């Protein structure tokens, strides 16, 4: 396994991020969502390098085979971890792709580190611009929704993860967009995360306001969101991103759930390849 050092924890132990680096050419960096690992990008890792792209994907601290410190799950720290990846591998003119929680890392990195080394950004099913309902964000998600998530994690994290996975991929009584094998695979990834990381990252993506971070982004941007996303509803995220990234290309995947990197993998792969290589991506009307 390959690892990148991203600072030290409170006990002076090195924090190591598990990563993979495949292909050659223009670099795409993939940032996974909560509560999985970079292995979630399996179909993108298997396809994008075929199109003259170098693809780097890493696992966020606290998850998968990365180090699991007790602290450091705020977005400033997570953006610094992303910087460690870009700096250590000396990546240039990167296309940053953030899925769900990973969209927050993209936004915070661009403001906190001035967009260094980055040529383009993509937000896929992202938690940006701001999920929590507040007085100045009346269209957000009520705090009670996030309180229920935390309560269910505290009660039985593994049962929560299994139920969460079904909503993640849009599985219902009459809807089976993914197999049981995919649900099992996703549960296995999520269960490797530490309890503390799962809890603290849920707090981070629920309560962090990225509106000012998005204002710092001037590079080409792509926003993709599933129309039937029950995890990060499109009205709270995708539809609002155009208010903050007016120059972004906005694409809605009809009927797609949150986990569209699996359910709509072929379409997502085509759009990511086109965006990274400079071809046009057809915006939704």
Helix, strand, coil percentages, rounded to 5, for the chain: 45, 20, 40
Assess contact for 167 and 230: CB atoms under 8 A.
Answer: yes
If you search the block for the tokens 């709509």, which residue do you land on? 264
Mean pLDDT of the chain: 97
What is the structure's pLDDT at 78? 98
The residue among 192, 236, 242 whose CA lies nearest residue 221 is 242
**97: Cβ–Cβ under 8 A, 6 or more apart, which residues?**
28, 29, 30, 31, 106, 121, 122, 124, 272
2-277 CATH choice from 3.30.70.890, 3.40.1110.10, 1.10.10.60, 3.40.50.1820:
3.40.50.1820
The number of C-alpha atoms within 13 Å of 274 and in the hemisphere containing its C-beta is 13
What is the structure's pLDDT at 175? 86
Using pLDDT thresholds of 50, 70 and 90, give the confidence band for residue 280: confident
Using pLDDT thresholds of 50, 70 and 90, give the confidence band for residue 173: confident
pLDDT at residue 285 tops 90? no
Question: pLDDT digit string (tens) for 109-161?
Answer: 999 999 999 999 999 999 999 999 999 999 899 999 999 999 999 999 999 99
pLDDT at residue 284 tops 90? no
The residue among 122, 127, 101, 124 whose CA lies nearest residue 110 is 122
Query: What is the arithmetic mean of pLDDT over 254-261?
Result: 98
Assessment of whether the complete model's pTM goes beyond 0.95: yes
Question: pLDDT digit string (tens) for 28-45?
Answer: 999 999 999 999 999 999
The proportion of the chain whose per-residue pLDDT surpasses 90, expressed as a percent, equals 95
Residues designated as active site:
100, 229, 258
What is the structure's pLDDT at 1? 79
What is the structure's pLDDT at 47? 98
What is the structure's pLDDT at 139? 87
Assess contact for 60 and 67: CB atoms under 8 A.
Answer: no
Using pLDDT thresholds of 50, 70 and 90, give the confidence band for residue 174: confident
CA distance 223 to 232: 13
What is the structure's pLDDT at 185? 98
Using pLDDT thresholds of 50, 70 and 90, give the confidence band for residue 67: very high
Assess contact for 216 and 115: CB atoms under 8 A.
Answer: yes
Question: pLDDT digit string (tens) for 70-120?
Answer: 999 999 999 999 999 999 999 999 999 999 999 999 999 999 999 999 999
Question: pLDDT digit string (tens) for 177-234?
Answer: 999 999 999 999 999 999 999 999 999 999 999 999 999 999 999 999 999 999 999 9
């Amino acid at each position: 396994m390959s690892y990148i050092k991203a600072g030290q924890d409170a006990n002076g132990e090195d924090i190591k991020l598990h990563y993979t680096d495949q292909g050659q050419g223009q670099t795409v960096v993939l940032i996974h969502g909560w509560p999985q690992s970079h292995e979630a990008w399996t179909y993108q890792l298997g396809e994008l390098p075929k199109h003259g792209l170098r693809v780097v994907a890493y696992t966020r601290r606290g998850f998968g085979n990365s180090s699991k410190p007790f602290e450091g799950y705020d977005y400033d720290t997570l953006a610094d971890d992303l910087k460690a990846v870009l700096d250590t591998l000396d990546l240039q003119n990167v296309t940053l792709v953030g899925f769900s929680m990973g969209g927050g890392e993209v936004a915070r990195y661009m403001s906190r580190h001035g967009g260094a080394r980055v040529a383009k950004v993509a937000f896929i099913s992202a938690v940006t611009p701001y999920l929590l309902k507040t007085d100045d964000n009346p269209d957000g998600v009520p705090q009670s929704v996030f309180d229920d998530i935390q309560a269910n994690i505290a009660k039985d994290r593994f049962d929560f993860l299994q139920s969460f996975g079904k909503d993640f991929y849009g599985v219902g009584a009459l809807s089976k967009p993914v197999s049981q094998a995919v649900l099992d695979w996703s549960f296995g990834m999520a269960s490797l995360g530490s309890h503390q990381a799962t809890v603290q990252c849920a707090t981070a993506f629920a309560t962090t306001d990225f509106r000012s971070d998005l204002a710092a982004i001037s590079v080409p941007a792509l926003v993709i969101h599933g129309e039937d996303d029950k995890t990060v509803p499109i009205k709270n995220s995708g539809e609002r991103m155009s208010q903050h990234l007016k120059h972004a290309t906005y694409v809605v995947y009809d009927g797609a759930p949150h986990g569209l990197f699996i359910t709509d993998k072929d379409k997502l792969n085509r759009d990511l390849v086109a965006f990274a290589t400079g071809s046009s991506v057809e915006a939704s009307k």
